Structure 1
Amino acid sequence: MLLEVLMFEAGLQQSLLIGSAFLIVAYLIVVRYNRYKLLNEMIRKYPDPNIVLKNHDIAMEIYSNIFRKEFPLFARSSLEFALFKPFATPSVSKLLVSTREFLDHCSRRAEDTELILSEIIDPYPRIQNELRNNPNISGKEITKQYERREASIKRLNELHGKYPISNEDYLYTLVLFVAEPIRWINSWEWRKLDIREVNAIFRVWHEIGTKMNIKEIPDTLDEWYEIQKAYENTSVTYHPANWRCADPTIKHLGQRLPKFMLPVLYKILPCLLEDSECKAFGIDTASTVMNFIFNSLITVRALFIRYLCLPRNMYDLRTPFYPNKEGKYVPHYFVYKPAIYTEGYRIEELGPEKFMPKCPFSAALKEGKH
C-alpha cells in the first residue's frame, strides 16, 4: 500500500513537471510570436521601405507603434536626452542660464515640453485607442485630435520666438530628435529598428521641423548625421553654464528613482555621452567597470522583454482623448515629481507663466479700452 502511494506521488510529480515544462515552452512560443507580430505585419503591409518617406499617414502609424507600443520607455528617455545633449553647447546653455527657467522651474519646463511634444505626435495613437473603446466616434472628434497637433506646433513656435535661438541650434536639436531614438533603440532595446521604422522617425521629425520654420533641413538621413557630426565638432565645448543646465535636469529625472539611486544616475550619465560631451560638461568619462555594469543591466532587460514579456495591446499615452468639464486635458499619468497639471492643461497655456495668453478683457483695460 505504501509503495503504491509513493509510486502515485512520484507519477504525479513527474506529470506536474512535464505539465509545467509544457506551459513554459508554450508561453515562450506565444511571447516570441506576439513580440515580433507587429514588426512582421508592418513588413508585409509595406514591402517598399521608401513608401514611408512619401506618405505622412504611414509614417505616423509606424512612428506611433515604435514610440507608444514597442519601445515606450526608451523612446521617451531618448527624447529627453535629445533635449539634454544641447546643454553641452555654450550657445544653448548660456541662453538657458540667462532665462533661469531650467534653473528655477526645471520640473515645470520638462513637463511643458513633454506635453507639447506628446500633443504633436499622439493624434494617431489617441484615435486608435479611442476606436477600440468607442468605434463610433465622430469625424469631428477625430479632426479635433489633429487640430490639437497644429495648435501645439503653433504654441511651440510662439515660445521659441521669445528667445534668440540660432537656426544652427534649432537644426542640431531637430537632428537629435531623430538620431537619439535610433541610437538608444538600436543599442539597448530588445530588438533593432527596421529600415521602415528608421524612415518613419526621419519623416515625422522632418515634417515637424518644416512646420517649426527651421531652415536648411536636408532631405536625407545621412545628411542629418553629417550636420550632427559637424555641429558637435565645432560647437560642443566646455563652459560652466553647460553643467549649470545639466545638473538640475539630472536631479529632476532622478525623481523617478528611489533617492539612493541618484548617485548611480550620475555615474551612468557618462555611459550615455560621447567623450567630447563629458569634457564639455566638465565630468569624467565612463570607466570600463561602469560601462560593463551598465551594458550588462541593459542587456538583461532587453533579453527579459524579448523572451518573457507579452507586447502591449494599447498605445501607452499620457494625453487624453477628451478634455474635462473645464476644457482642460488631464494626463493619464504623471512621469515627473511634483505632478504639475493635476487639474489639467490647455495647449495654449503650456510654457512659462510670463508667456501665458493674455485675457482680452484685461488687455483692453490696460490699453484704456472699454
Structure 2
Amino acid sequence: MQNISTSTSTSPLLTASVQYSTPTVVVIVLVAYIALCRSLRFRFERKLQEKFNYPDRSSLARMTNDDAQAIVNSIQSQEFPFLYKLSLQFGLFKTYSIPTISKLLSATTALTDPKFAGKRYEDTTILFGQFSIYPPKSDRALKALARMNYLHNRYVVGGQISNADLLYTLSVVIIEPIRFMSQFEWRPLNEMEQCAIGTFWKSIGDAMGIKYTGVLANDTWVDGLAFVEDITTWSRQYERDAMRPVISNVKPARATVDLLLYHVPSFVRPYALELLTVLMGDRVRDAFMYPEPGIVMSMIAYTALIVRRFIIGYLFLPRAYPLVFFSEPDPKTDRIYHYDYQVEPWYVPNNVWSRWGPSGLLSRFVDGIVPGDKPWKPEGFLFEDIGPVARMGAGIKEMEADVDRLRRERPTGCPFA
C-alpha cells in the first residue's frame, strides 16, 4: 500500500501571520486598556458635576456649604487622596517660614520637640479630617472646630497668634491643593471643585473668627472662586512682605522634614531632602535656610512627577470606593479609631489588620512604630484628647459652648448669598 505522507511544515504566509499577530494583539489590548482608564477616570468627574449641578460660572454663586464640603470630601477621599493630603502638609509647612508663626511653634515646643511632634502632626490631621469628611453641622465637624478653637484661643487672646497668621494659614490650605493638582496631578481641579475649596475653607475661617474686612481687597464675594482669587492675591503679597530667613524658622522646618522622611533609609535621606527642597521653591527654601538643590535633582524631581501624572492618568484605573480614614464612634465609649498615620500610630486600633496589614508590615520593614502599643491610645480618641499632652481632657465646657455657637451660626446654605 502506498504511504501517503502529510506535510507538517507551516507555510511562510501562516508563519508570518502568527509572528506578527502577538505584538498586534498586545497593542490592541494596551490601547483598549488605556481608553478604558481614560474613560473611567473622567466618568467620576462627570458624575460629580451631574450630581451637584453647577454647570457654569454663574451657577457657582448658589453653591451651598453642604455641597462644598461634600465635593472637598470626594477630592480627598476618592479622586486625589495622596496629593490632596500632601498639598495640605506642604501648605502648613509653608506657614513655618513666617517668623511670627515659627517663633510661637519654637516657644511651645509642640512641633520642635520630637517627644511631642508626632502627636501634634496626627492631631492636626484628625481635626482637618473630621471637619472635611463630615457635614458642616454634624457633631463630628462641630466638635473638631470647637477643639481647634479651644487650642488656639489662649494664644489668640494673648496676642501670640495674629489675625494675619490665621488668615495666611487659611490661604495656604486653599491655594496649595489647587496648585498641586494643576501642576502635578493627572488633571487639574475644575471650576466647581476650586469653588468648593474656596467655599468650604471660607466657612472654616468664619468658624475660627478670622477677619477679612480691611485685609483682603473685598468684603463680599459672589462665589468661592472669587474668594480664592482675592485671598490668593493677598497671600502672595503677604509672603513677599513677611516670609524671610530667621533662625526661629529652622527648628519647626527640620522637625517636620524629619517626620516626612521618617521612613526613608538614612543613606537615601540626603537625596530625599534635596528632592523636597526642589518642591519648596526658592522663597520657602531660603526662609528655611536650606541650600539650593542641584540641577540634576531638580530634573529628577519634576521628571518623576510628570511620569507619575502620565501613569496615573493613562494606566491606573480610578479608585472604585472612597478611602476610610476613621471609624464610627463606639456606641459605649464614643471613641473613634484613626486608620491613617504618618509616623506615630495615635488612636489606631490594636488588631491583626493594623499590626500585620500593609501599614503595619511597612512599619516593621523600616523599623517604624507598629500600631497597638499603649502610649498611642489604641482605644481611639475623644475630641478632648486632641492637643498637647498637658491639655488632654481639658476644655470640655469651652468646647460645648462653642459647639452650641457653631450649631446656631454655621451655614449649610450658600455662605455668599
TM over 0.5: yes
CA contact (8 A) 1:152 1:348 kept: no
Q: Does 1:112 align with 2:86?
A: no
| Residue pair 1:50, 1:196 contacting (<8 A) in 2 also | no
Runs of 5+ unmatched residues, structure 1: 125-142, 361-370
What is the aligned counterpart of 1:69 among 52, 60, 78? 78
Aligned to 2:288: 281
Question: Normalising by structure 2, what TM-score?
Answer: 0.75
Q: 1:92: which partner in 2?
A: 101
* Matched position secondary structure for 1:326: coil
Q: Which runs of 5+ in 2 are unaligned?
A: 1-6, 222-226, 349-377, 397-417
Q: Aligned-pair distance for 1:11?
A: 5.6
TM-superposed CA distance for 1:166, in Å, is 0.5
Q: Tell me, yes or no, if the aligned pair for 2:384 and 2:394 is still in contact at 8 Å.
A: no
Q: 1:348 aligns with which of 384, 391, 415?
A: 384
In 1, Cα distance between equivalents of 2:263 and 2:43: 31
CA contact (8 A) 1:123 1:149 kept: yes
For 1:355 and 1:53, how far apart are their aligned partners in 2? 41
1:202 aligns with 2:198: yes
SS of alignment partner, residue 3 of structure 1: coil
Aligned equivalents of 2:390, 2:154: Cα separation in 1: 11
Instruction: Tell me how far 1:282 sits from its aligned partner.
Output: 1.4
Aligned pair 1:154/2:146, yes or no? yes
Q: Given the superposition, is the C-alpha separation of residues 256 and 206 from structure 1 closer, same or farther in structure 2, using an over 3 Å criterion?
A: farther
Give the structure 2 partner of residue 295 of structure 1.
Answer: 302
Q: CA deviation at 1:283?
A: 1.6
Is the CA contact 2:97–2:244 (under 8 Å) kept in the aligned structure 1?
yes
Alignment of 1:1-370 (within 5 A): 1-4=7-10, 14-44=20-50, 45-54=53-62, 55-104=64-113, 105-123=116-134, 146-163=138-155, 164-216=160-212, 218=216, 219=221, 220-323=227-330, 325-332=332-339, 334-342=340-348, 343=378, 344-358=380-394
Distance 1:327 1:100 in 2: 30
Q: The residue matched to 1:162 in structure 2 has which SS?
A: helix
The CA deviation string for residues 49-107 of structure 1, in whole angstroms up to 9 with x for no partner, is 34445312221232222222111111001101111111111111111111111122111
Distance 1:53 1:293, change over 3 A: farther
Name the CA shift for 1:22/1:236 in 2 (closer, same or farther; >3 Å). same
Instruction: Flag the structure with larger Rg.
Output: 2
Matched-pair contact (CA < 8 Å) for 1:349–1:357: yes
Task: Output the CA distance in 1 between the equivalents of 2:81 and 2:313.
Answer: 14
CA distance in 1, matches of 2:328, 2:61: 28
C-alpha separation in 1, matches of 2:201 and 2:287: 27
- Deviation, 1:290, is 2.3
Contact 1:52/1:203 (8 A) holds in 2: no
In structure 2, the partner of 1:135 is none
- Aligned residues: CA RMSD: 2.4
Q: Supply the AA of the counterpart residue of 2:264.
A: L
Give the C-alpha shift of residue 198 in structure 1: 0.9
Percent same amino acid at aligned positions? 29
CA contact (8 A) 1:69 1:315 kept: yes
Structure 1 window deviating more from structure 2 (278-287 vs 32-41): it is 278-287
Amino acid aligned to 1:96:
L
For the residue of structure 1 that corresponds to 2:189, the secondary structure is: coil
Shift in alpha-carbon separation, 1:185–1:98, aligned structure 2, 3 A: same
Contact 2:70 2:133 in 1 (8 A): no
Q: Calculate the TM-score normalised by the size of structure 1.
A: 0.85
Q: Relative to structure 2, which stretch is displaced further, 273-282 or 38-47?
A: 38-47
Q: Which has the higher helix share?
A: 1
- The CA deviation string for residues 191-235 of structure 1, in whole angstroms up to 9 with x for no partner, is 111111111111110011100111116542222012212211221
CA distance in structure 1 between the aligned counterparts of 2:162 and 2:290, rounded to whole angstroms: 27
State the aligned residue count: 340
Any idea what SS the aligned residue of 1:177 has?
helix
Whole-angstrom distance in 2 between the partners of 1:341 and 1:300: 35
Task: Name the aligned partner's letter for residue 202 of structure 2.
Answer: H
